[in-house]
Amino acid sequence: MGDENIGLFNSPIFTFNENIYVAFVQEDEQQPGVYQTVVGKYSNNAWEFSVVEPHNMLNKYHAQPSLAVDTDGYIHVTYNMHSSPWQYSVSREPEDISTWEFRGQTLNGPHNKIESSYGFYTAEADIPGLRITYQTMHTDRNGKIYIAFREAGIYSGVSYSKQRWSLGIASYDVSTKTWSRVGPNPDVDTSALAQTFATEYDKRPQGAKIFFDVNNRMHVSWTWYAEYEDDGSGHLEPNWATYAYSDDGGMTFYRADNAPLTLPISIDQTDIIVPPSWLEPVDPTQGYFYAYTEINAMPNGTPYVWIMPKSGTRPGTGRAFCYRMPRGGWSQPILAPYGATKFAIDDNGIITFISSGIRIHRSYDNGRTWIQWEIDLTDGSYAHWVDYSYTPATGQLRFLAQSNSTGELRVYTVNFSDVVTSENESVKKTSSNVLLYR
């Protein structure tokens, strides 16, 4: 395995009924150069695997899968998309990965060709939206699935840079087995632009993540990124991360200062978590922030948002997080330990960051000080994906990791002691389960 699983947007690991489910891309052993979307299930100390899509495009940062399990036990997988119609399958039986029902939109060409997505003007999949990328699935505290994604709010066959790229969010109803967009009346106006979650004429919302805190408040973060320009100049324009929350499952949304938001959310409604000036002067070849965020929240609802500056920015900046301060406003950026890219906040308010190595960093004082453990340093750097269906409520840590040197995929479950004081906490057990090795 190599670049085929590298992506910061997706959610490829989920725990349900004490079984672990993962989704990943691998090269077909019988057909070199052909890639597959595979789902694995870890149960009774053994792995079983199933091919969901036999022809996945090789496209790092875009075509990686996400999955979740609904409250009835059906496994939902999205995969193989870069501005494509929905590629989406659901297991035919609960907690059974052996057979799949395709509920997406059939492509008009080879599945491993990006060009196969062009020419689609209407959305026909079970999940609403057209020309999808960066899909990520999350469940609320009652197990309801939500999915966030980039979509083309307006698509009429014009150039790639003129698609009115927008941010969509939808939720799944297990009783009707249907998806619907968030918002008060999603069927009043059937145009995609009217139903989308966020959109803007000259900025594209991207890199959305969702987190549900202990009170089931829905926290959403994303980046307002410059609209595409054919010459690539948009990547150098100032951009920033922003935030919204909902207390009613996505019917209504608010800013962090409790000001109401109207869907679709426009840029002038939202606040700026970190101003672009924090990075200035920037490297003129790099720009400001990548279009990725991560979101968690404290038990009292305080949101924490991770941001990712582009390389080449001034000293003293880097991958960092901000939190909403009690008296209003966002904190100054706090650098993530070891440049970590993933983090979790459990229901006790303990912050855990995962950095390459693999190292784990725990904070009991809102990120001011850290305790560090070296979990696995055998294969150099790793990419990580946190299991948010497991980690916050249990207080333990589960994540999928891929070695950037060997390509090996593992699931790590780190069990901490029940002692909540930082001086006495110890790692009781670290277990790792090999998924696949090439």
Q: Which residues lie closer than 8 Å to 304 by C-beta, 6 or more apart?
A: 295, 296, 297, 298, 321, 322, 323, 343, 345, 351, 367
Q: Do 74 and 136 lie in a common domain?
A: no
Is the backbone peptide bond immediately before 392 cis, with ω within 30 degrees of 0?
no
Helix (H) or strand (E) holding 294: strand 289-297
Radius of gyration of the chain (CA): 20
Per-residue confidence (pLDDT) for residue 245, from 0 to 100: 99
The list of the chain residues with pLDDT below 70 reads: 1-2, 108-121, 154-162, 185-194, 228-234, 312-313, 417-438
Q: How many CB atoms lie within 10 A of CB 36?
A: 22
Per-residue confidence (pLDDT) for residue 376, from 0 to 100: 79
Contact 135, 68 (CB under 8 A): no
Q: Do 95 and 122 lie in a common domain?
A: no
Per-residue confidence (pLDDT) for residue 268, from 0 to 100: 95
Per-residue confidence (pLDDT) for residue 427, from 0 to 100: 42
Place of tokens 């070891």: 338
Per-residue confidence (pLDDT) for residue 270, from 0 to 100: 96
140-170 per-position pLDDT tens digit: 999 999 999 999 876 655 566 667 889 999 9
CATH code (residue 372): 2.120.10
How many angstroms separate the Cα of 9 from the Cα of each of 99, 124, 389? 26, 24, 16
Q: How many domains does the chain have?
A: 2
Burial of 30 (0-12, 13-18, 19+ CB in 10 A): exposed
Contact 379, 406 (CB under 8 A): yes
Per-residue confidence (pLDDT) for residue 424, from 0 to 100: 38
How many angstroms separate the Cα of 303 from the Cα of each of 88, 259, 326, 351, 367? 31, 16, 11, 12, 13
Under DSSP, the state recorded for 240 is E
Q: Do 35 and 159 lie in a common domain?
A: no
Paired with 200 in beta bridges are none
Range of the structural domain that residue 363 is part of = 80-88+109-436
Q: Do 156 and 199 lie in a common domain?
A: yes
Q: Which residues lie closer than 8 Å to 185 by C-beta, 6 or more apart?
A: none
Q: Do 231 and 211 lie in a common domain?
A: yes
Measured distance CA(37)–CA(20) in Å, rounded: 17
Q: Do 230 and 123 lie in a common domain?
A: yes
Q: Do 343 and 239 lie in a common domain?
A: yes
Paired with 26 in beta bridges are 36
Q: Do 251 and 310 lie in a common domain?
A: yes
Q: Do 98 and 43 lie in a common domain?
A: yes
Q: Which of 71, 76, 93 is nearest to 16 (CA)?
A: 71
Tell me how many helices (H) and strands (E) the chain has: 2, 29
Place of tokens 């790092």: 60
Sheet holding 289-297, edge to edge: 289-297, 303-309, 320-323, 334-335
Residue 373's identity, in one-letter code, is: W
Q: Do 37 and 123 lie in a common domain?
A: no
Task: Give the number of residues written for the chain.
Answer: 438
Q: How many CB atoms lie within 10 A of CB 119?
A: 11
Q: Do 187 and 252 lie in a common domain?
A: yes
Sheet holding 409-416, edge to edge: 382-386, 397-403, 409-416, 427-436
Per-residue confidence (pLDDT) for residue 226, from 0 to 100: 80
Per-residue confidence (pLDDT) for residue 227, from 0 to 100: 73
Q: Do 276 and 371 lie in a common domain?
A: yes
Per-residue confidence (pLDDT) for residue 282, from 0 to 100: 86
Contact 406, 29 (CB under 8 A): no
| Three-state DSSP string of 216-227 | CCEEEEEEEEEC
